[in-house]
Structure 1
Amino acid sequence: MLTLIKDNVESFLVALVMSMNILRFMLNIYDTNLLLYAIYVITAIVLLFKYNIGNVLRFSVKIRNIYYLNVAILFFAFVTLPLTFSMDTISTLVKFIVSTVIAGLCISIPIKKIKIVLYLIVFINLAYSVLLLLYPDRSDAYMQGDANYLNVTLTIGCALTICLAYFLYTYIIKNSLFGMAVSLSLSVFYFLILMRFAARGVLLFPPVIVLFLTTLFFKYHKLKTTIFIIILAIGLLFVFNYFMQNASDYVTGRFLRMFEDTEDESRVYVWKKSIGMIFDQYWFVLGGGINAFRENFDFYPHNIFIQYFGELGFLGIFSLIYCVVYVVKEIKSLVLYISRHQESITFICCFAGLLYYFLTFNKSFSIYDACPLQIMFVLTISTVYQLKNNEN
């Protein structure tokens, strides 16, 4: 047992960093404090000593370019620090640097250990969900305190997305009854847990992602895929009806209000306001500097594209678009050969997790809290790189 833990310690640490909310809940920690920073640093040190990222960088020009762009962004953040200098900005910058470093070091994790990371994310969030059930008063106090309700449920939504993607793969490609039964059972459990909270994107995005993934699988088994789409559509109607009848009024109220065009609820309103501030302040030239929205206007844009453009200028938005285009191209080419790879299920689950965080961080959250998104991005491109390398 000790040998097993020792051999997979980096997988556990990465999964723990991505599921940090369980520690926040258990220890009543609302923000990143010294204990959580210590876990980040330990994770970075373990990854640094166990793997040599140079092996990957030497063989992949595009991945190397992504590294250079991230280094340039971190350098820019240092240079522009005087523009928004405060203790909060320094803390934000430290968090951003540590998150970027951890994500970058994840590029060398072998694909079999990436699979373990995914399993551990599901297991850790299973334990976390049980705690939320056992201590409802504490979870309610946590949500009504300084913690955002999305912070409480973000990683559970990721676990739900991974389980749904796993179910889809085992149903269409792998034909595993055991995998289907376990992943579906966990998906139902996570959904019931999420019904207690007002996390709208956490409930909306997983089925949307699964529906998108079915289009990738259509060429492999048209009949199975069609049946799944029909069942999914009918199931979503029942799920929505069950949700509206059984969730609390507070939860359903927030869910319905997201369609209202108000300052408090409409993301379109926030995005337009943020873009207006970018041009009013001339941030579109070089960027307003790290944490500029918080320091100047006491809010953030709830969209990583707008925030990268506003605070990190053309360098930030170019690097983000470069990453998105790279992932789209690589995944498009890999999907054509997905049935050939034994570890394709790892790629599908990573890709589903990446889509989940990408959509969530373009609806809510700041780029400086995007460590899970950064890690899932790197795990996805690492999986693609390793699968293609094995193919060749």
Structure 2
Amino acid sequence: MSEHGPQPVERHLPTQEARDLLTLVREVIAREITPHASTQEAEGTFPRDLFRLLSQSGLLALPYSEEFGGGEQPYEVYLQVLEELAAARLTVGLGVSVHTLACHALAHHGTKEQRTEHLAAMLTGGTLGAYCLSEPTSGSDAASLRARAVRDGDDWVLNGTKAWITHGGIADFYTVLARTGPDGPRGITAFLVPSDAEGLSAAVPERKMGMNGSPTAQVHLDDVRVPDERRVGEEGQGFTIAMDALESGRLGIAACAVGVAQAALDLGLAYTAERQQFGRPLADFQGLRFMLADMATQIEAGRALYLAAARLRDAGEPFSQQAAMAKLFCTDAAMRVTTDTVQLLGGYGYTTDFPAERYMREAKVLQIVEGTNQVQRMVIARHLAGSPGR
């Protein structure tokens, strides 16, 4: 049996423009992504030319202002595009989400002059971004980062190591958070660093459980000189900028998780409809039908949760708690759904002849990136009950 692409999900989009956009996305997926997904993931191939195509088609710029080449689409629409891309191949969906995250600081906190000079190229110029917050000793405790930027005349000199950087070594620009002041969140500043800056280098990519096509690497900063014109926001505002970006980025991860889960369910439905045991399709057995029903319910619940959070964001309302809930629920659901898909396929689910095992390995990382699910629980609890010892 061959790999089954995701079945079209019935979507209720707010405008005809959004419906036309989804049609374009599905055409790109059918032509450029689905036919190569399994092979390229097995070979560890990053589809750089595809990302140039996505950029030129405006699909790396969807939630940003038309003034700078963006699509000015609401998050409600952008996230559903992400879901479709991730269902076809997580390397692509997550890559788009990370690029959007990398553009966020400049788009929302940069000066008009900075946006005029840099943002159009970042959104539609064929370039690819990376987001540099985590470090070897600073993951969940992001405020304890050690990479430092020291003022030298009209420049800043950056030193340190960033870790777990998606697109590390292949990005065209890096949004880097570095310490410019005392310990703690108020001593951090954001910088936009070009990939060709002298002293910037990337380590050999990490060897990961899944997402072999998406390079994740440490990025080294050795006396990297950046002009003050590339400082984003005020000195000491970097942590606030980073957390602002991550709130939106968590919705991207939630949408990607639902996409992976949907692809796994589609595979499980196709397999159990075709596979015969005891003279009838597996899908006729009540135990398996109940599994499929539970999987579908978790996917629909996750989709509703991330869309509800997106609509709050689009309305300009606070959405931090809902973003954490969406990231938590959708990624946990993706882990359950993909694990159940492997079980539905039995021995075949454990082989690389089917993408079920790939979906399961990919789902795992979504519980970790952009704030582990334990961190999401801390965020949610803080909203509900305040900080401990208040």
Give the strand-richer structure, 1 or 2: 2
For normalisation by structure 1, the TM-score amounts to: 0.26
For normalisation by structure 2, the TM-score amounts to: 0.26
